[in-house]
Amino acid sequence: MELKEIQNLIKFVAKSGANEVKLEMKDFKITIKTGAGGKVTSIVQQVPAATVQVVPQTEIQAIPATEQKTESVNKKTDEANSYIEIKSPIIGTFYRKPSPDKPPFIKVGDDVEVGDTVCIIEAMKLFNEVESEISGKIVKILVDDSSPVEFDQPLYLVDPS
Amino acid sequence: MNIVKLDAINSTNQFLKELVKSNDVDNWTVVTTEYQISGRGQMQTKWISEKNKNLLFSVLIRFNELNANHQFYMNCAISLGIYKTLTKHKIEGLTIKWPNDILAGNKKIAGILIENALVKDSIKHTVVGIGLNVNQIEFPVLLPNATSMKLLLNKDFNRDLLLKEIVDNLKYYINFIEKKEFIFLKEQYEKVLYKIGVVHSFESNKEQVFTGKITGINQQGKLLVEQENKVIKEYNYKEIKFM
């Protein structure tokens, strides 16, 4: 199956309104899931394990056919593994908002771009605006507003797909 | 000196931060205003300033390489730059109150707000907001602890000249950060630290009042206070208050 065909298939599934489509062909298996936000994720399992080029806005992972039996388990771990953490670069106090009366920099479900400010870490009256090094969708906020954070403590979970 | 003069603005820091995002802004660009609508000290406190009387400005400082671990030296360099300028104008009783307030006697004459842009653990650039009370002589009842250069010396000051002097002195001290001569900055800072070596009352974040003696700061900028039992404890900002 060509990359172009996979892209078309994903577009088709997204338009169809189906939540999940599984397709098995002789040398690979593909699962396309549509998320709540209308975005599409797809998981491709190919035999033999090979590198699959990344299609924009999709998540493609090559998994050897031998692991197909434990598919559901694998999918879970793979999803968790595919998330990236934004970590605290310093010790300090974590603030989600630029100031108390302003909305938060970022919420769950928001898209974050490289260079976007995601939070402030205050240390010794120095206000550090932390810029994201990755782009993706915020999946989870791991720290409460105004709480202390350690160096390297994960702050956000980001889906980079 | 690249300088942007504004009549009124929400906050010069905010303006400069947005300018940096959308344009190629030179190092040491200065933004001044005559009036700040929502100038802020710290997260909650407002900076109240009468129009056309004071210096309210923000400076952009870019770094080739500055690790976030060394960020407290920003507090040292900026405070010292203002301290040096005011000393030249013969203001008496000047001290730096940890971490970065400038006092004349027991009254606040200048405030600093430092905002770093961090990528990973390195500081790309810093926007330093400074408010210095220059020619204002009346302060709100709410601010009994504010003073100004004119209140202390009974004369008016040229604010443009003063601004240039401050920026030059900031450059002088920031250069020590560039050269990684952190110990020099720490020593200079400790020399003029408010209440250093004096027995004083403090309140800890556990709402306990105690007496102790400031002995200096550690490398992270934490305040070192010798307790009555001679043990030296380290305090983060917000963990200790001066009484």
pLDDT of B52-106, one tens digit each?
899 999 999 999 889 999 999 999 999 999 999 999 999 999 999 999 999 999 9
Q: Is the dihedral of CA B95, B100, B102, B106 positive or negative?
A: negative
Q: Is the pLDDT of residue A57 over 50?
A: no
Please give the share of chain B, as a percent, with pLDDT higher than 90.
76
When pLDDT is averaged across residues B162-191 and rounded to a whole number, the result is: 97
Candidates B239, B236, B69, B125; CA nearest to A151 is B69
pLDDT at residue A53, as a whole number: 39
pLDDT at residue B127, as a whole number: 97
Q: Is A125 close to B115, i.e. CB distance below 8 A?
A: no
- Place A19 in a pLDDT band, splitting at 50, 70 and 90: low
Question: Are B112 and B42 a contacting pair, CB within 8 Å?
Answer: no
- Place B23 in a pLDDT band, splitting at 50, 70 and 90: confident
Distance between CA atoms of A158 and A86, rounded to whole angstroms? 7
- Place A26 in a pLDDT band, splitting at 50, 70 and 90: low
pLDDT at residue A35, as a whole number: 57
DSSP A8: H
- Place B140 in a pLDDT band, splitting at 50, 70 and 90: confident
Contacts of A130 in chain B (CB under 8 A): 118
Can you tell me the ipTM of this complex? Answer: 0.89
pLDDT at residue A2, as a whole number: 64
Q: Is B120 close to A125, i.e. CB distance below 8 A?
A: no
The CA-atom distances, in angstroms, between B229 and each of A157, B193, B211, B226, B233 are 46, 23, 10, 8, 11
* pLDDT tens per residue across span A116-150: 999 999 999 999 999 999 999 999 999 999 999 99
- Place B8 in a pLDDT band, splitting at 50, 70 and 90: confident
* pLDDT tens per residue across span B56-69: 999 999 998 899 99
Question: Are B60 and B16 a contacting pair, CB within 8 Å?
Answer: yes
Residues B87-119 as b/e (b if ≥16 CB within 10 A, e otherwise) read eeeebeebbbebbbbbbbeebbbbbbbbbbbbb
pLDDT at residue A75, as a whole number: 46
pLDDT at residue A1, as a whole number: 61
Name the residue facing B99 among A93, A125, A133 (closest C-beta): A125
pLDDT at residue B35, as a whole number: 78
Please give the share of chain B, as a percent, with pLDDT higher than 70.
95
| Distance between start and end Cα atoms, chain B | 41
Name the residue facing A129 among B44, B116, B221 (closest C-beta): B116
Question: A87, A96, A118, A125: best mutation site toward chain B, by most B Cβ within 10 Å?
Answer: A125
Question: Are B171 and B68 a contacting pair, CB within 8 Å?
Answer: no
The CA-atom distances, in angstroms, between B218 and each of B73, B214, B232 are 11, 11, 11
Q: What is the mean pLDDT of chain B?
A: 91
Candidates B210, B204, B209; CA nearest to B240 is B204
Residues B137-175 as b/e (b if ≥16 CB within 10 A, e otherwise) read eebeeeeeebbbbbbbeeeebebeebbebbbebbbebbe
CA distance A30 to chain B (A): 36
pLDDT at residue A4, as a whole number: 65
- Place A62 in a pLDDT band, splitting at 50, 70 and 90: very low
CA distance A150 to chain B (A): 13
Question: Are A62 and A44 a contacting pair, CB within 8 Å?
Answer: yes
- Place A72 in a pLDDT band, splitting at 50, 70 and 90: very low
pLDDT at residue A31, as a whole number: 67
The CA-atom distances, in angstroms, between B116 and each of A90, A123, A128, B110, B172 are 12, 11, 5, 20, 19
Name the residue facing B236 among A99, A124, A133 (closest C-beta): A124
Q: Is A124 close to B222, i.e. CB distance below 8 A?
A: yes
Beta bridge partners of B31: B4, B58
Contacts of A99 in chain B (CB under 8 A): 40, 43
Give this prediction's pTM. 0.76
Question: B237, B239, B240, B241: best mutation site toward chain A, by most A Cβ within 10 Å?
Answer: B237
- Place B49 in a pLDDT band, splitting at 50, 70 and 90: confident
* pLDDT tens per residue across span B180-222: 999 999 999 999 999 999 999 999 887 789 999 999 999 999 9
CA distance B2 to chain A (A): 24
